[in-house]
Each structure stands twice: as structure tokens, then as C-alpha cells.
Structure 1
């Protein structure tokens, strides 16, 4: 086996793995809940976060901070509920 053939196989394998990983990430994003859906499904939530921004519900609308640099969005999590 030549060195070039060995290298091409590894490049091909790496490309296939990247495509699989990208596909998995795309499926995760498509399944993610939108902010509007999160607010509708959690009417008592007054503050929430996706680990990029912190949002507060003001007059029924989300007021969010500027996203952090190089953050990776996660599913929304309520950090303060009405009455807390």
C-alpha cells in the first residue's frame, strides 16, 4: 500500500464521519423548541436561558441579553417562575 492510498482512505473516512456528525446536529436543531413555543408551553416562566442569552418576560414578550461569544445554544430552561 502506498502512502498516498493510505492518506486518501483516512481523508475519506474523516469526511464520512463529519457528514454523519453534521446530520446528527441538524436533527437536534430541527427538534429544538422555538422561543415562542417555550414561552407558550411555560406561561409561568418569568426568566429563561439557552446558555447563550438570558431572557426575561416583559409584558408577554421576551427581552434578551446579547448572546455570549462562541456559545453553543442549548434547549431553553426556565430560571425563574412567577411567584419565586
Structure 2
């Protein structure tokens, strides 16, 4: 989840600052508020499309990039939903 004050523009900027060459696009899919999400926060489902024209991406690379994205969002106050 992310604090309400964090915009998708900030999220996108944090992800693009990682300079993952294989990241083709990063788009929001769904935003959810309420339910078991704390007041003042929202849940963001985003899609990261990774691609290389030269080779098949390995699972460990994708996992590493995913971890980098999660850490970047943590810098904005984001936490993983359990």
C-alpha cells in the first residue's frame, strides 16, 4: 500500500530512476481503497512489462528487478500487502 499523498507520477518516476533497460512499460491496473486498507493509504496494482529483443530473460533477473521496484516504492512509504 502507498500513502494517499503519493501520486502515480511519483511511483512511475521512482521506477524509471532504476534504469532497468528491459522495462518496456509500467502501468497502473487498479487502485483500491477501503476494506482492509488502512485509512490514508491505497493499494496499487501495477503491471511492469519486461522484454529483451536479444535474449530470453531469466527468472533470477526478473526477481531482482521486481525486488528493486518494491524497494523503490518502499522509499515512497509503500509496503507490500499481505
Q: Which range, TM-score by smaller chain?
A: under 0.3
Structure of greater Rg: 1
Q: With structure 2 as the length reference, what TM-score do the two structures score?
A: 0.25
Q: Tell me: higher relative CO, structure 1 or 2? Use CA pairs within 8 A at least 6 residues apart.
A: 2
Q: Which has the larger strand fraction?
A: 2
Q: Which has the larger helix fraction?
A: 1
